[in-house]
Amino acid sequence: MRVPQPSFRARSAKRKAALCIGIGASLMIAGCSGGGKGSGAFPAIPSPTASVVGTAKSDIATLNWGLPYGEPNTIDPPNTGYYSSSLVSSALCDNLLRLNADYSITDGVASLRQPDSRTLTLSIRKGVKFWDGSQVTPADVVWSLEHARQGLTGFLFRNVDTIKASGPSEVTVRLTKPDSLLPKELASFAGAVQQKSFGEKTGKALGSPAKGLMCTGPYALKEWKPGSSIELEKNQHYWDPAFAAKAGHVSLKFLSDSTALTQALLSGEVDGAYEVPAALVPALSKATSGTLTFGAPSQQYLGLSPTRSGGPLGSPELRKAFYMTIDRKALAKSVYHGTANYTALNVDVWNNPTTSAAAKTVRRKAYDGFRSEGSKWGSKAALSQARSLAKKAGYQGQPITLAVLAGDATMNQAAVLIQASAKEAGFNVKIRPLDPAAYADTAANPAAREKLDLYLNVSFNVAPDPLEATETFLPGTYFNFIGYKNQTVISLVARARATADTTEQARLLTEAQSTYEKNYGFQGLVQINEISFLKKGLGGATASFAYLNQPSLARIGSIK
């Protein structure tokens, strides 16, 4: 579920175009200080921590939390494919199923059973109420899913035939064909539960500063002060003890300026933040005010997408030659302090509790094959081979335009490293920074890509399932800008989505991926651990990227 989300302003301007695609993000994080390729000027990369940091033993009066991506564009759950928006809406709105910190999935507002391959039956938990005290009904769940079906998450419901109440506390979803992905997505913001009457009355203003929403989460929306903060208050009658709010009040500060965020974290003005910019790692790793955490699992990664079928990278051979110049390890060390990726899929997408041991074995074998090739790229030998391959494929020094987000120092630093390596193999890369609106338009509008050749972005997956990521392999999907279409791949992905056997699914998807990778379309370059900061004396924070789709703020409290 990948869609670039470069900024609040750009998101607002391009929202209509983006709604038809999926979910993803372009990280707006500032670059690391220090040198370029192979630089040793950085602190040691922290080892990934456990999925939860510390234990909250007692409540606190107020939690002040920073939002490095600034103000949300909306808090209407199925339209929150953006970091700030998703974090806030997840504190307010519960999902039908619960995504846990280790990426396992358990019951949420409802429990799920599948009496047959084309039927999902949701049994609503007793005692779950909205903030106004009214009981959650099947009508609310039906409305919520239909609302998600029409929003940013709509593509996830492509195999849904009907969604109907089937009992006093039951909803039945009938499918046109078996779908092994949709059940997992009910633990994401696609499965968030809202009150039908409030949603219908509010209409298009749902999730806005003026109208807000009505949900069941551990926090209720108290006030949204545009341009300043969002204030939440504890839901005293929350149904789930495990996520009952530890803080009586939460104040969410819009801190997209990295200097202001650094000062706030170091001084203790704010108690923590997710999506801490990589540029802040050197300073915050030495902080005495709190702890910097590199959390895992994380389904985020830096990716590179060819933007058109023609141009100087218009053939698989030319694209392969270019990708061979990229030193993923240097990018990981010098820019993100993370781990290198070698395929279109992040490892944590399949290496998680929802994947069987046998399926992991299949995926690991395939990944090791991709890694064996990709880990050699960027070396002197690879650069020499890339030069020869490019010349043989017809490259004669034509400019290759690489689009990045203007003002995003981390992305620009990554682009400079890519540019330098490519130059050693004879490629002429021109970096073109685009303002947020133009950057968003590039992803949504083919006409905006006509004079570009590559698009650098950071993506994330939500559900712990490689099926979600394989949307990239299909025609008409995000980051398939070159119009890749292979009937074998289409068939394999469709068969994988239709089977409940995870080992067979892994076999089908790795076969599809093996074919797809040979086209050298979208490439995952660096896998990025979740970078967060938590004030000294606090605990209970989800450190993994799963924080984005659970009420993670509710668990943070005092360790004493």
- The answer to whether residue 410 is domain-embedded is yes
- Within 10 angstroms of residue 173's Cβ, the number of other Cβ atoms is 26
Q: Do 438 and 427 sit in the same domain of this protein?
A: yes
Each residue's pLDDT, cut to its tens digit, for the chain (560 residues) gives 554 444 333 333 333 333 222 233 322 222 222 223 333 333 344 455 567 888 999 999 999 999 998 899 899 999 987 789 999 999 999 999 999 998 999 999 999 999 999 999 999 999 999 999 999 999 999 999 999 999 888 889 999 999 999 999 999 999 999 999 999 999 999 999 999 999 999 999 999 999 999 999 999 999 999 999 999 999 999 999 989 999 999 999 999 888 899 999 999 999 999 999 887 888 898 899 999 999 888 999 899 999 999 999 999 999 999 999 999 999 998 888 888 888 888 888 998 888 899 999 999 999 998 888 888 899 999 999 999 999 999 999 999 999 998 877 788 889 999 999 999 999 999 999 998 778 878 887 899 999 999 999 888 888 889 998 887 788 877 778 999 999 999 999 999 999 989 999 999 999 999 999 999 999 999 998 899 999 999 999 999 999 999 999 999 999 99
- The answer to whether residue 21 is domain-embedded is no
Q: Distance between CA 417 and CA 427 in Å, rounded? A: 13
Q: Distance between CA 335 and CA 261 in Å, rounded? A: 19
**Is the distance from CB of 69 to CB of 256 less than 8 angstroms?**
yes
Query: Among 338, 299, 286, which Cα is nearest to 23's?
Result: 299
Block residue for tokens 């979208």? 522
Q: Distance between CA 225 and CA 205 in Å, rounded? A: 16
C-alpha atoms less than 13 angstroms from C-alpha of 495 in its C-beta half-sphere: 16
Q: Distance between CA 46 and CA 49 in Å, rounded? A: 8
Beta strands in 153-192 (DSSP E): 160-167, 170-175
Q: Do 282 and 224 sit in the same domain of this protein?
A: yes
State the CATH number of the domain containing residue 64: 3.40.190.10
State the CATH number of the domain containing residue 319: 3.10.105.10
Q: Do 460 and 350 sit in the same domain of this protein?
A: yes
State the CATH number of the domain containing residue 176: 3.90.76.10
What is the three-class DSSP state of 217? coil
Where b means 16+ CB within 10 Å and e means fewer, 260-278 reads: bbbebbbeebbbbbbbbbb
> Containing domain of residue 417, as a range?
298-528
Q: Do 554 and 491 sit in the same domain of this protein?
A: no
Three-state secondary structure string covering 291-358:
EEEEEEEEEEEEEEEECCCCHHHCCHHHHHHHHCCCCHHHHHHHHHCCEECCCCCCHHHCCCCCCCHH
Domain count, the chain: 3
Q: Distance between CA 303 and CA 279 in Å, rounded? A: 19
- DSSP H or E segment with residue 253: strand 247-254
Q: Do 381 and 422 sit in the same domain of this protein?
A: yes
- The answer to whether residue 313 is domain-embedded is yes
Residue 110 identity: A
